Chain A
């Protein structure tokens, strides 16, 4: 809570002394009252939850049952809250089973399974030489709570989710998105859900380098290992050229060779950095994940030959 400006000056519309003091006092009181408390969107009068759900199905072009979407958007905390309220109101435990909806845990589990399966297949299909640890790291980034919660927030699930607080926590946002995927799978078919995953989750790789998502601790060691597995000689790094060595902007270009065969090269401010980066570059070229390679065709993966999961 920062007060940036005075309310006004004694010039202009607040020329009258009394009006200036009055408005100034109102301004101070508003500052003292603090920010408005967070409120449920549903506490405002122009709120129609059914219409919002209906709009949500059409926003993504999915034909699905409104009830299943409503279940997908219901968090477990919402049910807990309701049972608690009913218990406090004096209802018996038997009456509490008659709720017409369930929470989204199972759907979320189902959706997460679909998403993980599809993402792994898609990454392995497009980067066939990228090792499994790398794909695991990229998967971890894509499936992570922060990424998924961010996607869910941007897709507008924040107001649709029914939970115990006015703004859902990241865990709830994540569950809601996966539950939505599960609901698409339930209502339509599997490929439709996978298309949703490739449209909204896989696209987070746009503008990101998967070699940097998977941070290799010792690139030269890994390069040696990979070359050994392929039956090639150990890597050998050579200084290609250097300039401005004693200036602040010193640049070294180091290349990595195996049996006099070029593997990769890179620049660095010192020789050790340049050598490390050259090893990374060689790995990129070996794994065929360098920038010259085409980016993932998100909407045409099936056309390119990615098999649909049974």
Chain B
């Protein structure tokens, strides 16, 4: 192999990045990922050329949308015929396909040109941290998220909590031990999960959504 071939390979090889979407804002991370998928972070970037890199995004189930977006914002689905439009609120969409929100946020940051779909094809999204081994082997680098993952109270050990300096002591009747999950939350056994309801009408089920992807049954938690 000649030197110029080696240089060519080093310049044009597609670098694989890993992105951990846990507690990240999908809009901000979508901007970052779209830039990398298009190759805009490279000095050799030129709009007509395909110079983008590959991104493996994991933990998309745990993205953190801003404000009240889960409830207030929606995916607007326009179907071809009159009076067939409908909105899917994002919490519902996330339930149907946990990778869809991040996917749409990245797609939203891509310009409307012909290379859009080809660039998007280089994005691999996974709802959890389970990634196929052959994809994970490719990964070379990591994209830094824009948000720092805070330390949650239930991840802090009880020693640290006791050692934490307190200015005064609360009266006992005001203290509620909310770290005791079992008091409030019960993990529902599968036989108690309600069965799929009988469909009424032609398009009653979620499987009639065009984007429907059958997902593995995720943990459902019921609060008493």
B residues in contact with A251, CB < 8 Å: 9-10, 13
Q: Which residues of A198-251 are within 8 A (CB) of B? A: 209, 211-212, 241-247, 249, 251
**B223 at the A interface (CB under 8 A):** no
Are the CB atoms of B14 and A244 closer together than 8 Å? yes
Known: A241-B140, A242-B140. A249 touches B6 (CB 8 A): no
Interchain CA distance A277-B10 in the complex, whole Å:
12
**B203 at the A interface (CB under 8 A):** no
Chain A nearest CB: distance from B3 CB in Å?
Answer: 6
Are the CB atoms of B2 and A268 closer together than 8 Å? no
A residues in contact with B7, CB < 8 Å: 267
**A70 at the B interface (CB under 8 A):** no
Query: Using an 8 Å CB-CB cutoff, how does the interface string of A91-105 with B read, 1 for contact, 0 for none?
Result: 000000000000000
Query: Using an 8 Å CB-CB cutoff, how does the interface string of B130-169 with A read, 1 for contact, 0 for none?
Result: 0000110111110000000000000000000000000000
Query: Using an 8 Å CB-CB cutoff, how does the interface string of A160-199 with B read, 1 for contact, 0 for none?
Result: 0000000000000000000000000000000000000000
Chain A nearest CB: distance from B124 CB in Å?
Answer: 12
Q: Which of B6, B15, B54, B134 lies in contact with A277, CB distance below 8 A? A: B6
**B175 at the A interface (CB under 8 A):** no
Are the CB atoms of A244 and B13 closer together than 8 Å? yes
Are the CB atoms of B6 and A244 closer together than 8 Å? no
**A271 at the B interface (CB under 8 A):** no
Which residue of the partner chain A has the closest CB to B15? A243
Chain A nearest CB: distance from B19 CB in Å?
Answer: 15
Interchain CA distance A246-B138 in the complex, whole Å:
6
Q: Which of A212, A241, A284 lies in contact with B2, CB distance below 8 A? A: A212
Q: Which of B2, B3, B10, B54 lies in contact with A244, CB distance below 8 A? A: B54
Known: A242-B140, A246-B138. A280 touches B3 (CB 8 A): yes
**B198 at the A interface (CB under 8 A):** no
**A76 at the B interface (CB under 8 A):** no
Are the CB atoms of B140 and A269 closer together than 8 Å? no
Which residue of the partner chain A has the closest CB to B7? A267
**A253 at the B interface (CB under 8 A):** yes
B residues in contact with A276, CB < 8 Å: 1
Are the CB atoms of B140 and A212 closer together than 8 Å? no
Interchain CA distance A222-B7 in the complex, whole Å:
22
* Further 4 A-B residue pairs, CB within 8 A, beyond A244-B54, A249-B13: A246-B135, A247-B138, A251-B9, A280-B3
Which residues does B use to contact A, with CB under 8 Å? 1-3, 6-7, 9-10, 13-16, 54, 134-135, 137-141
Which residues does A use to contact B, with CB under 8 Å? 209, 211-212, 241-247, 249, 251, 253, 266-269, 273-274, 276-277, 280-281, 284, 291
A-B contact pairs, 25 of them (CB 8 A): A209-B3, A212-B3, A242-B140, A243-B13, A243-B14, A243-B15, A243-B16, A243-B138, A243-B140, A243-B141, A244-B138, A244-B140, A245-B137, A246-B134, A246-B138, A247-B16, A251-B9, A251-B13, A266-B6, A267-B13, A268-B1, A269-B1, A276-B1, A277-B3, A291-B3
